[in-house]
């Protein structure tokens, strides 16, 4: 297979590999944009509910009254893992500048991809399920003058037609209880942060260094706290935050292992896989190979480098 190279600031890069990573960035970033628009513009499938269901009678709090606002969620779930992705720049190792830069780029790519995927799953499920939040009756105003029906016939559940709230955005959001977007997003970001710290700090070296252990656990504690506030803020049920936490965590782990070796591989020291190489799988028992990247330490998957 003929290789074509791009020269950027004196470095030669494989055109095929570079374009493939650019495609990753384009796919993930466009997915985030599309799914956020989908969640904002497309109405959920409004689930039926009972006017006498005590679990739906919680008071409604405005976004400003909630414990963790959207802005705070972004700071915790996005900015924190971004900072952890830049850990290779400040850590005291003998890694070459090219290797440090590559690890940062891939760390950010993993964050973008995992966030795009979990947002896709959560937004689709929210609209497909259309389950009411605990505060739906406070949002609905079922006793308003514009209601088409005050009380459904015996043996029937109420529908959105009984609601008289003129704020349609607030009403639509009241039917997006399952799963929790806050929970999925914060667990996605915090699990990635924890994985980055576990890999870079070699938490599982069996030496039991308490500071490293606590550093890796704190992000998970933060994620749990943020998720639980959604219950106290009357936004979600326990099932919602559990489902969101599972989705966010599973996606974060899956994406991390696509671009990074296992955190239990201590020799790798939390480094990302080198740049992927095309057309060389026949040399490695039909397993894809990597381009060699300058690295002054051992353990960086040299067994899948093809010597030029």
pLDDT per residue as tens digits for the range 231-241: 999 999 999 99
Of 137-146, 180-189, 278-287, which range is least confident? 278-287
30 within 8 A of 112, measured Cβ to Cβ: no
Rounded mean pLDDT, 15-32: 88
Which range (17-26, 219-228, 242-251) has the least confidence?
A: 17-26
What would the DSSP string read from start to end of 26-87? HHHHHHHHHHHHHHHHSPP----B-TT-GGG-PPP--GGGSSS-HHHHHIIIIIHHHHHHTH
How high is the pLDDT of residue 12? Answer: 60
The helices-and-strands tally (H runs, E runs) of the chain is: 10, 4
The answer for 285, left when phi > 0, alpha when psi is -120 to 50, beta otherwise, is: left
Q: What are residue 11's DSSP bridge partners?
A: 8
pLDDT of res. 92:
59
How does pLDDT run across 92-102, given as a tens digit for each residue?
A: 566 677 788 88
Rounded Cα–Cα distance for residues 166 and 144 (Å): 10
pLDDT mean across residues, the chain = 84
pTM: 0.87
Q: How confident is the model at residue 20 (pLDDT cuts 50, 70, 90)?
A: confident
Domain residue spans of the chain: 5-45+72-131+179-272
Instruction: Write the pLDDT tens digit of every residue in 153-188.
Output: 667 888 888 888 888 888 999 999 999 999 999 999
């Amino acid at each position: 297979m003929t290789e074509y190279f791009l020269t950027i600031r004196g470095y030669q890069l494989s055109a095929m590999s570079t374009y493939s990573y650019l495609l990753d960035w384009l796919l993930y970033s466009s997915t985030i944009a599309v799914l956020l628009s989908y969640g904002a513009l497309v109405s959920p499938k409004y689930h039926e509910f009972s006017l006498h269901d005590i679990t739906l009678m919680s008071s409604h709090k405005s976004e400003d009254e909630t414990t963790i606002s959207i802005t705070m969620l972004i700071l915790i779930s996005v900015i924190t893992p971004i900072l952890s992705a830049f850990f290779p720049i400040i850590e005291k190792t003998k890694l070459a500048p090219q290797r440090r830069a590559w690890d940062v780029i891939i760390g950010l790519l993993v964050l973008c991809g995992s966030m795009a995927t979990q947002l896709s799953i959560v937004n689709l499920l929210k609209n497909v399920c259309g389950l009411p939040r605990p505060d739906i009756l406070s949002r609905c105003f079922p006793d308003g003058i514009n209601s088409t029906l005050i009380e459904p016939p015996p043996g029937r559940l109420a529908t959105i037609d009984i609601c008289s709230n003129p704020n349609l955005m607030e009403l639509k959001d009241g039917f997006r209880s399952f799963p929790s977007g806050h929970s999925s997003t914060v667990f996605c970001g915090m699990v990635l942060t924890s994985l980055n710290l576990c890999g870079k700090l070699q938490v599982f070296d069996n030496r039991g260094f308490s500071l490293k252990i606590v550093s890796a656990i704190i992000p998970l504690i933060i994620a749990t706290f943020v998720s639980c506030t959604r219950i106290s803020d009357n936004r979600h049920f326990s099932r919602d935050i559990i489902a969101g936490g599972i989705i966010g965590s599973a996606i974060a782990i899956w994406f991390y292992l696509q671009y990074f070796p296992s955190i239990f591989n201590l020799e790798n020291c939390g480094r990302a896989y080198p740049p992927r190489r095309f057309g060389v799988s026949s040399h490695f028992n039909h397993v894809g190979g990597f381009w060699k990247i300058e690295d002054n330490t051992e353990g960086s998957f040299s067994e899948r480098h093809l010597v030029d």
